Structure 1
Amino acid sequence: MAIIEPRASGKGWLRRVGWFVLIWALSVGALAIVALILRAILTAAGLRA
C-alpha cells in the first residue's frame, strides 16, 4: 500500500492567491468596460447624468 504524503505548501498558497487576484482584476476590468459601453450608449441616446 502506497503512502500519499501531503504536498509541500511552500508556494502553493502564493499560486492560489495569484490566481484569485488575476481573476478578480479581470472581472473588475470587464465590469469597467461594460460600464463605459453603457455610458456611451446612454449618452448617445441623449441621457445625461
Structure 2
Amino acid sequence: MPATQHRRRSPDDAPRPWLKRVGWMVLIWVASVAALGVAALLLRLLMRLAGMHS
C-alpha cells in the first residue's frame, strides 16, 4: 500500500480566484472598521449624556 494516497480533484475543488479571496478580506476589513466606528459613536453619545463634553 502506498504511503500517500492521491485523490482526483473534482471541479468543485478548483481553487477560487484570488480576486474573490481578496474581496472577502476587504469586505471583512470594512465591516470591522465600521463596527469600531459605531462603537466609538455610541461611547461618545453615552459620554455626552453623562455630561462629559468639552
TM-score (norm 1): 0.75
- The 2-side partners of 1:39 and 1:31 are apart by 12
Gaps of 5+ in 1: none
Gaps of 5+ in 2: 1-5
**1:3 CA displacement:** 5.3
Aligned length: 46
TM-score (norm 2): 0.69
Residues 2-13 of structure 1 aligned to structure 2 (within 5 Å): 2=7, 4=9, 7=14, 12-13=17-18
Stretches (4+) displaced over 4 A: 1-4
CA separation of 1:45 and 1:12: change in aligned 2, threshold 3 A: same
- The 2-side partners of 1:3 and 1:35 are apart by 50
